[in-house]
Amino acid sequence: MTDPAPSTVDAVIVGAGFGGMYMVHRLRKLGLTCRVFEAGTGVGGTWYWNRYPGARCDVESMQYSYAFDEHLQQDWSWSELFAGQPEILQYANYVADRLDLRPNIQFETRVTGAEFNAAEHRWTVRTDKGDVVTAQYCIMATGCLSTARKPDFPGMDLFKGQTYHTGHWPHEGVDLSGLRVAVIGTGSSAIQAIPVIAKAAKHLTVFQRTPNFSIPSRNGAMTPDYETHWKSAYPDHREAARMTPSGILRNPNDFSALDVSDNERLAILENRWASGGTSFMAAFNDLATNQTSNDHAAEFVRNKIRSMVNDPATAELLAPKGHPIGTKRICVDTNYFLTYNRDNVTLVDVSKAPIEAMTENGLRQGGNEHAFDAIVFATGFDAMTGTLTRIDIKGRDGETLANKWEAGPRTYLGLMTAGFPNMFLITGPGSPSVLSNMIVSIEQHVDWVAGCIAHMGARQLDCIEADPAAEDNWVLHVNEVAYKTLYPSANSWYMGANIPGKPQVFMPYIGGVGKYRETCDEIAAQGYTGFQLRPPVREAVAAE
């Protein structure tokens, strides 16, 4: 019989995605005892859950992978320029095996609550399997897009066919061939799924509320030359990526779209369109801040859509006009717009005539009944805060996190929140997170947290908490930087606008990955300014 898992550890880590996996690796190396709770049956987080057809990363594979271990990055090979979900999940499993992470992970276990005991400086963490574990540190590696959201149309239970959410796709796969399928939503997930579903389905109807800008990925097989280009100087490339605004090397042009002639601007945009991917947004240095510059890029993409879609009325519906390009997450696709030229695909605009209800046979919209065999919800997530506020987290004074964040998330550096000592957030709101290459930002946070825990251990300190004043200043700064850009003008999930009733606050930090890293490093080097560090409770009492 194996020993029961210990009920007291140094650190509980919530989530075994890329954040939780690297965190447990780092803390074990520091000699800490760790227990990871993961709701899924396996590692991989986002890439474990999002198995919808066409799911793929839109950061290049050579850049969307761990950089902390030179052997690991040399040994792994990607088959495509942009890896598909199955390969990324395979990679996550490979890392878990190679680093022998599984003994620390308890799968199929969801953390339901965590309470801080101020007398002991320890967290008590509870799970849906009845575990009660105490730990000095509680580290939330819960992901930014991990709580899927379905709209609550009247009659949700009436539909007799199958329903799916892209973020909870069945692991055994779904055979949609020969079926009448609906996709609700046209965000990144839908834009990837639609071309693949269209090929299988008898008929596909897409319900679009807001059209999105999407750039062709130009995905293809990895070539030996390209792989060698990266691997021959991987540490240098990674270091350079860490200091960029987005955590991605993508050859940004450092001039305004207004500093070049019309012909030059067009040529630059054509060039970016031809090379594909999100680097389109790096064509000029002011697309996120200058409305006129942004208008040029947006109109360029609208014209591309018009040139690809045969039916002019459908093309106009697909051409986004209500928000600046990039202020809703830019999408990357393979044949998305061309898919609307297929005879078996119909686009339904629900911007003025919303979906009214689900019915036995499908759904009702604009007074019309639409019959389907399967309905796919590509309707997104309660992003950045939804997963954390659904856990019953009680801080030092018994206040819940949900209560503290009622008017929007408040953090210091996106790493900690005042009143919740010894609880770290990996890529929390207030950090670059979703505006960046997630793995770069995850590694930066995990390294910072591990460094902080080592610092405390070396000085016999056992409690760290964000200072409320430092937090207030950071929240202000996050806001100020956001409002210097065009981002807040869009009804995006960055703003919480996709969830009815959610406070509209720009949640990620848009100051740039490199600049943010420097700030975090400086704060650590100065002895963790803006944080209160405390000795163990008994020592503190004795000293009084």
Q: Does 378 bind ligand NAP (CB under 6 A)?
A: yes
Per-residue x/- mask for ligand NAP, residues 280 to 309, rule CB under 6 A? ------------------------------
Using the minimum distance from each CB to ligand NAP, give the nearer residue, 15 or 185.
Answer: 185
- Which residue stretch of 98-106, 182-190, 452-460, 519-527 sits at the interface with ligand NAP (rule: CB under 6 A)? 182-190
Interhelix angle for 438-458 vs 234-242, to 10°? 90
Residue 56 interacting with ligand NAP (CB under 6 A):
yes
Distance in angstroms (rounded) separating the CA atoms of residues 377 and 175 = 16
The CA distance from 521 to 372, in Å, is: 54
Task: Pick out residues in 480-509 that bind ligand NAP (CB under 6 A).
Answer: 493, 498
Q: Which of 43, 67, 114, 184 binds ligand NAP (CB under 6 A)?
A: 184
- CA distances (Å), origin 95, targets 75, 99, 299, 512: 11, 6, 43, 28
The secondary structure of 441-494 as a DSSP string is HHHHHHHHHHHHHHHHHHTT--EEEE-HHHHHHHHHHHHHHHTTSSGGGS--GG
Q: Measured from the CB of residue 192, what is the shortest distance to ligand NAP in angstroms?
A: 6
380 counts as binding ligand NAP under rule CB under 6 A: yes
Which pair of tokens denotes residue 423? Answer: 């609880």
Output the CA torsion sign for 28, 64, 383, 362.
negative
Distance, CA of 54 to CA of 479 (rounded, Å): 35
Q: What's the min distance (Å) between Cβ of 208 and ligand NAP? A: 7
189 binds ligand NAP (CB under 6 A): yes
Least CB distance from residue 355 to ligand NAP, whole Å? Answer: 5
Binding mask 421-440 for ligand NAP (x = CB under 6 A): -------------x------
Q: Is the CB of residue 269 less than 8 Å from the CB of residue 297?
A: yes
Q: Which of 14, 34, 57, 375 is the binder for ligand NAP (CB under 6 A)?
A: 57
According to the binding rule CB under 6 A, does residue 87 interact with ligand NAP? Answer: no
Applying CB under 6 A, among 88, 190, 345, 495 the residue interacting with ligand NAP is 190
Residue 358 touches ligand NAP, criterion: CB under 6 A: no
Which residue's CB atom is positioned nearest to ligand NAP?
187
Close Cβ partners of 381 (under 8 Å, ≥ 6 residues apart): 145, 146, 147, 148, 149, 167, 493
- Give the integer Cα–Cα distance in Å for 62 and 59: 8
Rg (CA), the chain: 24
- Cα-based angle 520, 489, 351 (whole degrees, multiple of 5): 130
Q: Which is nearer to ligand NAP, 154 or 178 (CB)?
A: 154
Identify which of residues 182 and 461 has a Cβ nearer to ligand NAP in the complex. Answer: 182
| Bridge partner residues of 394 (DSSP) | 115, 400
| Residues 136, 512: Cα–Cα separation, whole Å | 31
Lookup: tokens for 444: 């930066």
Residue 253 or 491 having the CB closest to ligand NAP: 491
Give the phi and the psi of residue 297 in degrees, each rounded to 5: -65, -40
Tokens, residue 429: 């709101």
Using the rule CB under 6 A, is 350 a contact of ligand NAP? yes
**Amino acid identity, position 171:** H
Q: For residues 471 and 413, give the distance between their C-alpha atoms in angstroms, rounded to a whole number.
A: 8
From the CB of 531, what's the least distance to ligand NAP, in Å?
A: 30
Sole window of 56-64, 239-247, 421-429, 500-508 interacting with ligand NAP (rule: CB under 6 A): 56-64
| 142 lines the binding site for ligand NAP (CB under 6 A) | no
61 is a site residue for ligand NAP (CB under 6 A): no
Per CB under 6 A, the segment of 9-17, 174-182, 257-265, 377-385 that binds ligand NAP is 377-385
Of the pair 104, 379, the CB lying nearest ligand NAP is at: 379
Q: Mask of contacts with ligand NAP, 209-238, x by CB under 6 A?
A: xx----------------------------
**Candidate ranges 52-60, 264-272, 279-287, 516-524; the one touching ligand NAP (CB under 6 A):** 52-60
# binding residues, ligand NAP (CB under 6 A): 28
Identity of the residue, 26 or 329, whose beta carbon is nearer to ligand NAP in the bound complex? 329
Q: Does 185 bind ligand NAP (CB under 6 A)?
A: yes
Burial of residue 224, with CB atoms counted within 10 A of its CB: 0-12 exposed, 13-18 middle, 19 or more buried: exposed
Query: What DSSP element (H or E) covers 425?
Result: strand 423-425
Q: Are 386 and 143 in contact (CB under 8 A)?
A: no
Q: Which one of 168-176, 185-193, 402-410, 466-474 is the stretch in contact with ligand NAP (CB under 6 A)?
A: 185-193
> Which of 109, 188, 279, 294 contacts ligand NAP by CB under 6 A?
188
Sole binder of ligand NAP in the list 20, 187, 320, 419 (CB under 6 A) = 187
Among 97, 58, 56, 94, smallest CA distance to 73 is for 94
207 binds ligand NAP (CB under 6 A): yes
Terminal CA-CA length for the chain: 48
In the complex, the residues that contact ligand NAP under the rule CB under 6 A are: 56-58, 145, 151, 166, 184-190, 192, 207, 209-210, 329, 332, 350, 355, 378-381, 434, 493, 498
